[in-house]
Structure 1
């Protein structure tokens, strides 16, 4: 087991409770000590990215230098989780299209890592950034993906943040007939399994699809239904089930079984 650097963690916690000046001092000291020892592992000691956020308002150029350094150190370390997290932190001190591009790269890297919570945060951050540049449909897709993953991580605060972002669209549940008609057969297939409580990874296995494609289809379902995972059964007119993932579906089932009676393919 590798424990995080205590000094870096302390600075990160100060930043989390909105004490940027204290965080900046603690993280600057932590970085100086780690540099003396030649330690640049951004997973074990993520001081540079958080220091960038702590000083961004008062020293934007210095903050960007630290954010870029964090990405370089993460790329030297080489893991997808390190690179994705560093890119996500860098995006927090940027805006507009630059923030979107950094977050798109972060989501790609974190989607290849076991860091589920960091991936969920990056998805929600990307959804919010896309909303700010006017790409509303794309924003909703990523926010719904973020909600799904955050719920699997039991990250209630992140779920609420994503829902507040979605509230900016004034989403309302659509009429049942409209929702069912709006879903393609592939979307209905993943929606039925999700309502039964099957997690995305198992949906991917059962349908023989990449996990990324399952997540994309689920996000489309949530957008069209005007509902997140908790309200999906009601939005689609399906009976709720215990969400324990214990309702396996034969991968060889035909379209009528998976598609809820759809006789067309899209």
Structure 2
């Protein structure tokens, strides 16, 4: 289970490059409340920022920081430039990351304006771009480009970002089956779930506990949403859910806790 195992863009063509300058404030819509069938949620955690130097970016020529109305602020092919007035700079969004950004509403959507250019991740393969709304879009050849942020991003960061057990997200942040919780799926055959009834944090579900939980209906089954991460028990690992706990031991598999 999680602690018992190793914590497990190139630009592509898009529509013609464009240059967009938009002001205003847009907040990413990770839920901070709930429907009429439950209590309001406490504020969610935030995904910590990553420095531009967190990766081999020193070896890659970066677009210069430009100023508003700069005649030289021209996007590269397959990219679009966006003016961020709070940062006083243009930022370039490219390739599949740009495609996903546009699918999620672009600068007037939930992600808001970019706060970085496209950056190379420490693995030297994947890429990322950050946005004003406590959210980023990550891309790798195996996963494609997907948004992650908020409390789910905070949990992902705690486990080592894309270098940890989850690897890259394979979905954007999506609704859980009850329409109130949220989740991302990942390359590591893992999920991170957040729900307004389980506090400010999001929690990892993976490994054999996840397999048993999914076989039983995942969050829509008898156990409900995770309320914590895995913890060590005698001879194995356990995890608590809203309506019970699951325990895993080598050679014995997963069973409901007594």
- Fold match (TM-score > 0.5): no
Q: TM-score, normalised by structure 1?
A: 0.31
Q: TM-score, normalised by structure 2?
A: 0.32
Report which of the two has the higher share of helix. 1
Structure number with larger C-alpha Rg = 1
Report which of the two has the higher share of strand. 2
